[in-house]
Structure 1
Amino acid sequence: MTVKLDFEECLKDSPRFRADIEVVQNDVSELETRLDKLVKQCHAMVEAGRVYCQTSKSFVNGLRELGHQCTGDSMMEECLDKFSKKLSIILEAQGEVIETTQKSVKLKLQNFVKEDVRRFKDVRKEFERSSECLERAQERNAQAPRGKVHEVEEASNALLNARRSFRAEALDYVLEINVIEAKKKTDILMAVLSLMEAQAQFFQHGNQSLSELDEYRRKLNEEHTQFVLNAAREKRDMEQRHAAVKKKDVSYDDSIMDFSADAANGIAMEGYLYKRASNAFKTWSRRWFSIQKNQLVYQKKFKDQPTVVVDDLRLCTVKPSTENERRFCFEVVSPSKCCLLQADSDRQQQAWISAVQNSIASAFQERREDPHSPRQRCSSMSAGTLGGGGGGGGGADQESEGCKALEEVQAIPGNKQCCDCGEPGPDWASINLGITLCIICSGIHRSLGVHFSKVRSLTLDSWEPELVKLMCELGNTVINRIYEARIDEITIKKPHASSPRGDKESWIRSKYVEKKFIQKLPETGRNPLLRRSSARRNRATTQDRTVQRPPIKPKPNRATLPRSTGLSPSDLVQKNNSGFHKDMDEEEEDLSGLHPGALLYRSAALQNFPVMADALAHGADVNWVNVAEESSTPLIQAVSANALAACEFLLQNGANVNQVDSNGRGPLHHATILGHTGLVCLFLKRGADYNARDKNQKDPITIAVDNANADIVTLLRIAKMNKEMREMDGAFGQSGDDTYHDIFRDFSHMASNNPEKLKRRSADPKS
């Protein structure tokens, strides 16, 4: 006898079990309907012999429909299909000779419906009643306040009794389901066999059509006899197992909580948890959670599409939560959200925490074993380099350089701890601030919006060389000297790695959004205009020539930056005033009175990243216009100094790549005039308009051709060609040609790592 439902699945009371119960109930209801219909058809055949032929056809059709309903059982489906076809032939010539046979069929099926189906319905009502009691007891137990011991004890006892009663009724219900499933086969088969035996006796020598079924009937009789014997034996074994399981204490879930990373169905852990909603009411809902495919998901019903809580377990962490009134709570924290969950007991809480942690470890193990993962590629590249292979391709060199660059970012002073809470080993970064972050702080930064912080993973995301170069120019130490300059004057305590998420979020918002801890610049807002010295005015006349314009001031050495000198950015402004950097052909400027926009403008030409970050922290407009210098912007100033990382820093902080000066020239025009190939590549990747014309009606391509700069001409033409190809492909075209991406990637690496290779000119002035 085939077991329809398993007793162990019954104890879990999972959505899968509920779905199977619903299918069985629908099957029994459908079976009852069809059997009632079949009985009425048989009764009509007996009572109305005059219309026997018509009613007999309906009866045969009823058998055929019953066979279709038994599509899951090939034996019954085949049996009913064969018999209904043969009966259709026999009934064309058959008279009123089968009345007694029809009565026996009618009586057998009526007894099944009136006795067995009714008993099934009674057990079903008891099961549904105990299920409702269990739900009420679970809700009451979950709502029991931590501090009221008597209410907790009362709720726990009520839940214990309700669970014991429910599981007892559930076991009885499953037994009844399996029994009626078996009895359905025996009774229906017996009724049909009785009918066929009567027909065989009626035709003394047998009709040719019926005689063709003799062999099949004999085989079916043998199978039925064996089936009855097997069913009786299995029923006895099932009753014994039912009695043994019923003797156990099934009030607790300890025996059915289990983590299996290698489960055949891919589900490492599953069970009920309460989930707190993220709405204003913070309501709690009981849902069926599971860990599968490196994801944490939940669903209300078995047929519902699972809702994903954590899309990738490698990006989350889990920890107990004691900040709320409910017991057995824990948090699953990812960069984008924090989900608060509640188990039914302390043991289940620990089991779920352990399961999530083990799943995270398994996900990372699979990632390391994947030969296509970034970490594995880095390892293989390093191994190839150490092995002395000299014939590697350019792509392998770039991968190896990218891995070394990421190590360099993490080696910047202060970057080995999270910038905001100090947790060691941070593997996330804010690219517009130039800092490294832990996973919790990165999620808080992401919630601030990209206008405050742009978050990336140091290990999972791809990094362009100019971004790596930018990250190496700043670091946690430099940024904290700016954004935490007045931390000693304020009573607010900086959070540490084990601080609650709420404390970290409050600190980060105060630090970056409200900017409570920055040091005020001296006398800001006094001098909104900057004027050029005579030497710079003389140099301005060469802007239309092909000779490269020298930077306004030399880039300070890395040793002079605040993280190595111990100076704050505000101190650095004062030191600039006292002659820290002197231009070779200009007198020293006084920067102490500049407002943030002008300070950003000057520091962009100096490539002084700490002062640029300081100016932005004090509210500098990244697109500030200096009317006194042909409406130039900080980005154009960085172009004049050929400062690739400074341009990337300004772009990441919202600089407009297409903003033009009074001559109608944007950053791309200036980079083309000065022959800065790396900057041209950067601006094209950031969406610069290569068709824009200046007041002389010259676009960047024309300027590059006039200046005989073959590299820049190549970049501009490839960018234009790539855009035209995408427009020809339409809305469903690809994002770009692979050759385009390969060339721009090569130029980016060259501009960041070997800029001297870009100082090339074409011999043909019109090439």
Structure 2
Amino acid sequence: MTVKLDFEECLKDSPRFRAEIEKVEVNVNELETRLEKLVKQCHTMLDAGRAYCQNSKSFVNGLKELGNHCSEDRTMGECLEKFSKKLSDIVSAQEEVIETTQKSVKLKLQNFVKEDVKRFKDVRKEFERSSENLEAALSRNAQAPRGKQHEVEEASNNLLNARRAFRSGALDYVLQINVIESRKKTEILMAMLSLMEAQALFFHQGYQSLTELKNYQKQLSDEYTQLVLNSAREKRDMEQRLGAVKKKDVSYDDSIMDFSPDAPNGIAMEGYLYKRASNAFKTWSRRWFSIQKNQLVYQKKHNEQITVVVEDLRLCTVKPCSEQDRRFCFEVVSPSKSCLLQADSERQQQSWITAVQNSIASAFQDRRDDTLGPRDRCSSVSAGSVRLSAGEPETSGREALEEVQAISGNGQCCDCGEPGPDWASINLGITLCITCSGIHRSLGVHFSKVRSLTLDSWEPELVKLMCELGNTAINKIYEARIDEITIKKPHSSSPRQDKESWIRSKYVEKKFIHKLPETGRGTVLRRSSARRNRETTQDRHNTRPAIKPKPNRATLPRLTGLNPSEIMKNNSSSHKENDEEEDLSGLHPGALLYRSAAMQHFPLMADALAHGADVNWVNVAEDSKTPLIQAAMVNSLAACEFLLQNGANVNQVDSDGRGPLHHATILGHTGLVCLFLKRGADYNAKDIDDKDPIGIAIDAANADIVTLLRIAKMNKEMREMDGTPSGDDTYHDIFRDFSQMASNNPEKLKRRSADMK
């Protein structure tokens, strides 16, 4: 039996599925019309045949009566008697043909129309009713206002029930379509085969002509027999599959496919979205969107011409839109226009945003050689002109893959152990396979930020960050108690639902981490007496803030256990000073993150965040400084990047009104200034001395930092004037060069600063 429609396509409910449904319905309606007409014609023929047989019997009786009358003439009587008997046999055989035709053709086809076709129509009505209910529920769910929680919950529950009823009805409808497609073949073929056999037996005179069809009749009979057997077997298999599918939860919100840039059909992503019209009424319409050929397009029906929303994904950006009254909205912005879209859930919203971002990166990767030619770049600044060359290109995905996979444990997926992972979570510092990366993406960016090691370009500071952590270090934190718990870690061939359950338990519920002691939950960090005495002799407004000496990174233990007290014990011999010793074992997570940021100890920082440390924790005992300020004061580019990727506020200031950008400027850390500006630091913010970073850099005669700050300011003014979302290309080139030099050749920046002074 040929399967007309597939159950998976039914659950997706795509325009292709709707188009196939329409074709089947037209075909069944036409089949019903023709069968009803044939049944009527058969009925007329049978009535005429019965009348003919009745008249033939009267004729035969007349011949018998004539034979009896002519019995005295033996020749005539015998002739009439034999002829009437043959005619009587012929009439009896014809009556049998009529009865056979009645049973094999008329009744079978009539029952097929009245039962099978009627059952198909009833299932279709249920399908259409559930489809209308789902459409109404989707509309009500989309229109539920964000601020009215009870309406949101009611709309969500109605949508859940409507989707469950629709998918159940759709599965039944697809089964009925496939069954009727098979039944129409068997019923019609069986009727014709029976009629042919009856006619062959009846029409003795047509035996020669029917003999020519004997081989075909035998072949058709064998084929019909085999078809019946195959149909019965496939029907049984489909019923078993239907039962298995119905046992699953068909109300889940998974109406879109995962992002697949290498899909055979060229469609990287597709699914339904609501689109707000650009007219005065701002109406919302539900359309089938897809990402294909580096374009974002949509269509209403399968055969309709597609409408292009974004002609070239390299010229657009995507961002969530929370200003709308409707939920799950996001905006795709291009130089010529912007398009406001709405998903059905937060998960779909995040999936579409990530898909568009990945498509933009993929478009740049695929067309970089074709679209970017050699050009001269320059930048003019009022206080001076600078053009740096880092000597190395931006780190490609392949280079990042090789460098990151060389770290301990990174050769296998952090969560399932699949070899050769080519995806990464940049805020956790781990490598992932494509399946686990999709699950991480579904957790949300507040838990995991996923990036491709092969498709995306990597900033040098991100590569350094990934090399500071790795799967081995992170698993020592997030799987510290795995031996104490009966949950089994999945492997590469485990089902997706097992991997998803494990990942959520590991990173969201944090079931496997060591619990911190309660003794340090309320501890506030205090400065040592020696440091307090030093600060009383300093003029805090005219000199740079004093920096407490920190241990050299080379002396820090590498992953010999993450107990803070052991770390400090191992480090005590390498950094003894006048300050009193500190025991980190009693610190709460925020204070632990604060101290480990100054120590540039990444596993300890990750451990603090895993235990719930506030990334923007404020140490009131040390001028309200934050972990990000601590990392900036020790000029740790990777530590600052790690904190920023985990949500650190780049504009949070200390009690002197100085943010990370102020401290980086005061200390002359050019690479950090570049990083903070790229992450949105406010270059106009003033400290308690009414000094902004530009003024501080001018006082310090640091031309590089003055250049960076003024270029950032100039670029913002150009964006506001021209309305361009990305700004000037030269701005990005200079910042990229500074970033590469800060990561790969920091000694050059030190020499430049010394020369300029």
Using the size of structure 2 for normalisation, the TM-score is 0.54
Task: Provide the residue aligned with 1:204 in structure 2.
Answer: none
CA contact (8 A) 2:397 2:452 kept: no
Q: Equivalent of 1:552, from 549, 553, 557?
A: 549
CA contact (8 A) 1:277 1:283 kept: no
Per the alignment, do residues 416 and 717 of structure 1 end up closer, same or farther by CA in structure 2, a change over 3 Å counting? same
- TM superposition shift of 1:455: 1.4
Letter in 2 for 1:754: N
Per the alignment, do residues 276 and 757 of structure 1 end up closer, same or farther by CA in structure 2, a change over 3 Å counting? farther
Pair 1:281 & 2:251 matched: yes
Task: Provide the residue aligned with 1:749 in structure 2.
Answer: 740
Q: Equivalent of 1:534, from 530, 535, 541?
A: 530
Task: Provide the residue aligned with 2:728 in structure 1.
Answer: 737
- TM superposition shift of 1:441: 1.8
What's the secondary structure of 1:292's corresponding residue?
coil
Task: Provide the residue aligned with 1:201 in structure 2.
Answer: none
Task: Provide the residue aligned with 2:432 in structure 1.
Answer: 437
Distance in 1 (alpha carbons) for counterparts of 2:253 and 2:748: 62
Q: Equivalent of 2:654, from 658, 661, 668?
A: 661
What's the secondary structure of 2:736's corresponding residue?
helix
CA contact (8 A) 2:394 2:740 kept: no
Distance in 2 (alpha carbons) for counterparts of 1:278 and 1:724: 56
What's the secondary structure of 1:605's corresponding residue?
helix
Per the alignment, do residues 376 and 134 of structure 1 end up closer, same or farther by CA in structure 2, a change over 3 Å counting? farther
- TM superposition shift of 1:276: 8.6
1:35-74 → structure 2 map (5 Å cutoff) = none
Distance in 2 (alpha carbons) for counterparts of 1:692 and 1:443: 39
Pair 1:615 & 2:608 matched: yes
Q: How many percent of aligned residue pairs carry the same amino acid?
A: 59
Using the size of structure 1 for normalisation, the TM-score is 0.53
Query: Which shifted more, 585-594 or 738-747?
Result: 585-594
- TM superposition shift of 1:484: 1.4
- TM superposition shift of 1:550: 5.5
Query: Which shifted more, 510-519 or 393-402?
Result: 393-402
Pair 1:419 & 2:414 matched: yes
Distance in 1 (alpha carbons) for counterparts of 2:182 and 2:29: 27
1:615-634 → structure 2 map (5 Å cutoff) = 615-634=608-627
What's the secondary structure of 1:761's corresponding residue?
helix
Per the alignment, do residues 560 and 737 of structure 1 end up closer, same or farther by CA in structure 2, a change over 3 Å counting? same
Task: Provide the residue aligned with 2:581 in structure 1.
Answer: 588
Per the alignment, do residues 422 and 629 of structure 1 end up closer, same or farther by CA in structure 2, a change over 3 Å counting? same
CA contact (8 A) 1:420 1:508 kept: yes
- TM superposition shift of 1:458: 1.3
Q: Equivalent of 1:688, from 672, 681, 702?
A: 681
Letter in 1 for 2:534: N
1:210-221 → structure 2 map (5 Å cutoff) = none
- TM superposition shift of 1:136: 8.3
Task: Provide the residue aligned with 1:194 in structure 2.
Answer: none
Per the alignment, do residues 139 and 20 of structure 1 end up closer, same or farther by CA in structure 2, a change over 3 Å counting? closer
- TM superposition shift of 1:295: 4.6
What's the secondary structure of 2:415's corresponding residue?
coil
Distance in 2 (alpha carbons) for counterparts of 1:283 and 1:602: 43
Pair 1:455 & 2:471 matched: no
Task: Provide the residue aligned with 1:471 in structure 2.
Answer: 466
Per the alignment, do residues 717 and 500 of structure 1 end up closer, same or farther by CA in structure 2, a change over 3 Å counting? same
- TM superposition shift of 1:734: 3.5
Letter in 1 for 2:511: K
- TM superposition shift of 1:420: 1.4
1:108-147 → structure 2 map (5 Å cutoff) = none
CA deviation map 1:564-622 (0-9, x unaligned): xx32344644535x726415554432222222211111111111111111111122111
Report how many aligned residue pairs link the two structures.
Answer: 481
Distance in 2 (alpha carbons) for counterparts of 1:402 and 1:440: 19
Per the alignment, do residues 430 and 561 of structure 1 end up closer, same or farther by CA in structure 2, a change over 3 Å counting? farther
Pair 1:761 & 2:753 matched: yes
Distance in 2 (alpha carbons) for counterparts of 1:476 and 1:586: 35
Letter in 1 for 2:266: K
- TM superposition shift of 1:740: 0.6
Pair 1:162 & 2:180 matched: yes
1:177-326 → structure 2 map (5 Å cutoff) = 281=251, 292-295=265-268
Q: Equivalent of 1:567, from 558, 561, 566?
A: 561
Per the alignment, do residues 508 and 134 of structure 1 end up closer, same or farther by CA in structure 2, a change over 3 Å counting? same
What's the secondary structure of 2:638's corresponding residue?
helix
Distance in 2 (alpha carbons) for counterparts of 1:754 and 1:598: 32
Task: Provide the residue aligned with 1:723 in structure 2.
Answer: 716
Distance in 1 (alpha carbons) for counterparts of 2:19 and 2:574: 73
Distance in 2 (alpha carbons) for counterparts of 1:250 and 1:394: 75
- TM superposition shift of 1:156: 13
Distance in 2 (alpha carbons) for counterparts of 1:284 and 1:617: 30
What's the secondary structure of 1:663's corresponding residue?
coil
Q: Equivalent of 1:499, from 489, 494, 497?
A: 494
CA deviation map 1:352-383 (0-9, x unaligned): xxxxxxxxxxxxxxx9xx99747998xxxxxx
Per the alignment, do residues 507 and 609 of structure 1 end up closer, same or farther by CA in structure 2, a change over 3 Å counting? same
CA deviation map 1:426-476 (0-9, x unaligned): 111111111111222222222222222111111122221111111110111
Distance in 1 (alpha carbons) for counterparts of 2:478 and 2:581: 28
Distance in 1 (alpha carbons) for counterparts of 2:178 and 2:552: 74
CA deviation map 1:233-273 (0-9, x unaligned): xxxxxxx9xx99x98888879xxxxxxxxxxxxxxxxxx9x
Per the alignment, do residues 475 and 310 of structure 1 end up closer, same or farther by CA in structure 2, a change over 3 Å counting? farther
Task: Provide the residue aligned with 1:515 in structure 2.
Answer: 510
Letter in 1 for 2:607: D
What's the secondary structure of 2:691's corresponding residue?
coil
- TM superposition shift of 1:709: 0.5
CA contact (8 A) 2:394 2:458 kept: no
What's the secondary structure of 1:429's corresponding residue?
strand
CA contact (8 A) 1:632 1:662 kept: yes
- TM superposition shift of 1:494: 1.7
Letter in 1 for 2:551: P
Per the alignment, do residues 25 and 435 of structure 1 end up closer, same or farther by CA in structure 2, a change over 3 Å counting? closer
Distance in 1 (alpha carbons) for counterparts of 2:551 and 2:626: 18
CA deviation map 1:306-348 (0-9, x unaligned): 5669999xxxxxxxxxxxxxxxxxxxxxxxxxxxxxxxxxxxx
Q: Equivalent of 2:483, from 482, 488, 500?
A: 488
Letter in 1 for 2:569: K
CA deviation map 1:110-166 (0-9, x unaligned): xxxxxxxxxxxxx9x9999976766889999xxxxxxxxxxxxxx999988732344
Per the alignment, do residues 506 and 134 of structure 1 end up closer, same or farther by CA in structure 2, a change over 3 Å counting? same
- The runs of 5 or more residues in structure 2 that have no matched partner are 7-15, 31-108, 127-172, 190-215, 232-241, 258-262, 273-285, 295-358, 370-387
Letter in 1 for 2:714: M
CA contact (8 A) 1:546 1:707 kept: no
Pair 1:637 & 2:630 matched: yes
Task: Provide the residue aligned with 1:674 in structure 2.
Answer: 667
Letter in 2 for 1:293: G
Per the alignment, do residues 167 and 734 of structure 1 end up closer, same or farther by CA in structure 2, a change over 3 Å counting? farther
CA contact (8 A) 1:295 1:309 kept: yes
What's the secondary structure of 2:553's corresponding residue?
coil
CA contact (8 A) 1:298 1:308 kept: yes
CA contact (8 A) 2:697 2:706 kept: yes
Distance in 2 (alpha carbons) for counterparts of 1:24 and 1:492: 53
Pair 1:651 & 2:644 matched: yes
Task: Provide the residue aligned with 2:356 in structure 1.
Answer: none
